[in-house]
């Protein structure tokens, strides 16, 4: 079992890029791996709301949005931290052009009633206190009767220390990219991570 802190994960990403991969490819690998697992579990759950942050965790969510839309899912995306996206997230947003994907403002994102909610807001780099606007969205997301999926780490949970916000996203499934993070192995994971699935994304 591989367990990496957030800093170790960044080092392994850099090493993968130096060995010939790219950050773009690693994001594609992460989103594709998560999407393929979602497809295997889909049963009748075909409507998906993806909550995206501005950074690369949100970019992973946009890759998933593209794949699921191509498979006929009803996909809605909301940029809950604003639309000033990282370069890789912006690239993957542009790849959604022409696909039947809906976009909702943060204030409206849970006006839909999805069967699946995907948390791509903050990943392993989260620390500190969540903004009140994000707390409100997560509070509502945790009350919706839907399958909840976290990408790498539920938003509000510090992947290194296990510290968590009162409104941390409560996932039924958490996809750990490349390796488990320390918090995945802590008692707190039972409450917020649900089933933890470690996915190969091309990082040693």
Buried b (16+ CB within 10 A) or exposed e, 153-185: bbbbbbbbebebbebbbbbebbbbbbbbbbbbe
Average pLDDT score over residue span 27-54: 93
74-101 pLDDT tens trace: 999 999 999 999 999 999 999 999 999 9
At 45 the pLDDT is 67
pLDDT at 182 over 90: yes
Whether 175 contacts 116, CB under 8 Å:
no
pLDDT at 165 over 80: yes
**Virtual torsion, Cα 4, 198, 121, 126, nearest 10 deg:** -20
Instruction: Compute the mean pLDDT over every residue in the chain, rounded to the nearest whole number.
Output: 95
At 55 the pLDDT is 94
At 43 the pLDDT is 77
Whether 76 contacts 102, CB under 8 Å:
yes
What's the chain's length in residues?
A: 204
99-128 pLDDT tens trace: 999 999 999 988 888 999 999 999 887 788
At 124 the pLDDT is 84
Average pLDDT score over residue span 163-176: 96
7-20 pLDDT tens trace: 999 999 999 999 99
């Amino acid at each position: 079992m591989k367990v990496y802190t957030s800093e170790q994960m960044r080092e392994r990403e850099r090493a993968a890029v130096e060995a010939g991969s790219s950050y773009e490819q690693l994001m594609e690998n992460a989103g594709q791996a998560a999407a393929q697992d979602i497809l295997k579990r889909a049963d009748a759950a075909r409507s998906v709301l993806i909550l995206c942050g501005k950074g690369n965790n949100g970019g992973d969510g946009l890759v998933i949005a593209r794949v699921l839309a191509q498979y006929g899912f009803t996909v809605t995306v909301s940029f809950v931290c604003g639309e000033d996206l990282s370069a890789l997230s912006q690239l993957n947003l542009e790849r959604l052009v022409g696909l039947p994907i809906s976009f909702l403002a943060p204030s409206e994102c849970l006006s839909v009633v999805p069967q699946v909610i995907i948390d791509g807001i903050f990943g392993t780099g989260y620390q500190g206190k969540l903004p009140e606007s994000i707390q409100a969205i997560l509070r509502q997301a945790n009350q919706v009767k839907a399958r909840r999926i976290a990408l790498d780490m539920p938003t509000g949970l510090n992947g290194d220390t296990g510290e968590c916000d009162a409104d941390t996203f409560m996932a039924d499934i958490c996809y750990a990219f490349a390796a488990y993070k320390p918090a995945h192995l802590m008692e707190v994971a039972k409450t917020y991570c649900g089933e933890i699935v470690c996915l190969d994304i091309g990082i040693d």
